[in-house]
Structure 1
Amino acid sequence: MSRRLVNVTLDNLDDLPTRCRNCVYWELDPVACERAQESGGTALEKEAWLSDTLLEWGSCGQLIYIDGVPAGYVLYAPPAYVPRAVAFPTSPVSADAVLLTTGRIVAEFRGGGLGRMLLQGVARDIVRRGLRAIEAFGRADSGASEDSEDADYQCLLPADYLRAVGFKTVRPHPRVPRLRLDVRTTATWKEDVEYALERLLSSMQAPVLSR
């Protein structure tokens, strides 16, 4: 069984799960996101965002393949490239961190250490760029219904999962705390953190496209 970790590019963008490929929750501000959903242009907007980010900043995602089959992914970028980030009451993301927006391991490939490989890829990337941490906005509730006031937060990772795997709360909030995981060097990447990140990615759900 061969494993291959690659950067997300325009050439392999379609290997993301369909829901993620067509979701621009993070890539656009709330007004532009709603407009894109109404017009059916989310896939084009996602491609445009990736193209601009690759040209201006570089790699902003990792894909892992098992025997040529897409098995998991993570997406991340500096907060300046994630318009949705400024919409949260716990903004801004720290200047020395990237924002982990989403990630998932395909169900049939969970438990094989793929999450560890993905996050090691992110860690190596951000260390090379001189950054020190991964941050994420967590969802404090257990899951809001689509007609609740928290429906917009369904694309967030659960805060309980983030805390359980080593993220620390840097700005508390009853609904959307901001959390941080420091990654000083890949050489000090502990096995328990690797295992915790595998648990995190195995627990993630595909992002919601709209309300």
Structure 2
Amino acid sequence: MGRRLAPLTLDNLSDVPEACRTCVFWELDPVSGEAAAKARRSASEKEAWVSAVLLEWGSCGRVVYVDDEPAGFVMYAPPAYVPRSMAFPTSPISPDAVQLLTASLLPAYQGQGLGRVLVQTVAKDLVRRGVKAIEAFGDVRWKGPACLLPTEHLRAVGFKTVRHHERFPRLRLELRSTLSWKGDVEMALDRLLGAVQKDPALRPL
């Protein structure tokens, strides 16, 4: 079984599941996102966002392939590129952190260690960029597929609440130093991916 990881670009955006590549929940503010959906231009807006982030910041995701077939992906970006995050009552994301947007493994490829492969790549990328932390908005009442991650899973893998809220707390995972945190972070995020993907009802879009 051959595995290959590739940076997310416009060339392979089509390898991301349709529900995700046509979703601009994080990429646009609520008003713009609703307008894009009504005008049926969410897919083009997603492409424009990926293009802009690539040009200005660099890669904002990874796609993993198994025998040249897309098996999963992860997306992340600095808060300046995530307009929707400002709509949350616990915003803003800290300026020294990168926001974990979403991640998914196709059901047929779960349980094969691909989550760890994705996370190791993300961790190495963030180390190179000098990122100090990863933050995410949790959903306390999460019950099904959504763009937010379940709060309970974030906490279970080491994220700490930095701003409380009855529905959408903001959580943070510190990236202390390349010597002390790298393995822990990889393990924590891999566990998070595994926890979210283990139950088909817990698959984020």
Which TM-score applies when normalising by structure 1? Answer: 0.88
| TM-aligned CA distance change 1:191 to 1:80, over 3 Å | closer
| Deviation string, structure 1 residues 54-106 (Cα, Å, up to 9, x no partner) | 00111100111111111111101000000001111111111111000100111
- State the alpha-carbon separation in 2 of the partners of residues 46 and 95 from structure 1: 23
What's the offset of the Cα at 1:198?
2.6
Which structure 1 residue ranges, 4+ long, deviate > 6 Å from structure 2? none
**Change in CA separation of 1:96 and 1:192 when aligned onto 2, cut-off 3 Å:** closer
Task: Name the counterpart of 1:164.
Answer: 156
Highest relative contact order (Cα 8 Å, sep 6+), 1 or 2?
1
Are 1:102 and 2:102 counterparts? yes
Amino acid at match of 1:58: G
Distance in 2, Cα, partners of 1:9 & 1:184? 29
Q: TM-score, normalised by structure 2?
A: 0.90
Aligned to 1:40: 40
Superposition RMSD on alpha carbons, in Å? 1.8
Asked whether the equivalents of residues 3 and 64 of structure 1 are also in contact (C-alpha less than 8 Å), the reply is yes
Aligned to 2:115: 115
Which amino acid in the other structure matches residue 46 of structure 1?
K
Q: 1:19: how far off?
A: 0.3
1:33 counterpart letter in structure 2: G
Q: Percent of counterpart pairs with the same letter?
A: 59
Question: Alignment partner of 1:58: what SS?
Answer: coil
Q: How many residues align?
A: 199
Mapped partners of 1:170, 1:159: distance in 2: 12
Matched residue, 1:12? 12
Q: In structure 2, do the counterparts of structure 1 residues 95 and 83 end up closer, same or farther at CA, with 3 Å as the change threshold?
A: same
> Does 2:147 match 1:155?
yes
Hey, what does 1:200 align to over in structure 2?
192
1:35 partner letter: A
Alpha-carbon distance, 1:132 to partner: 1.2
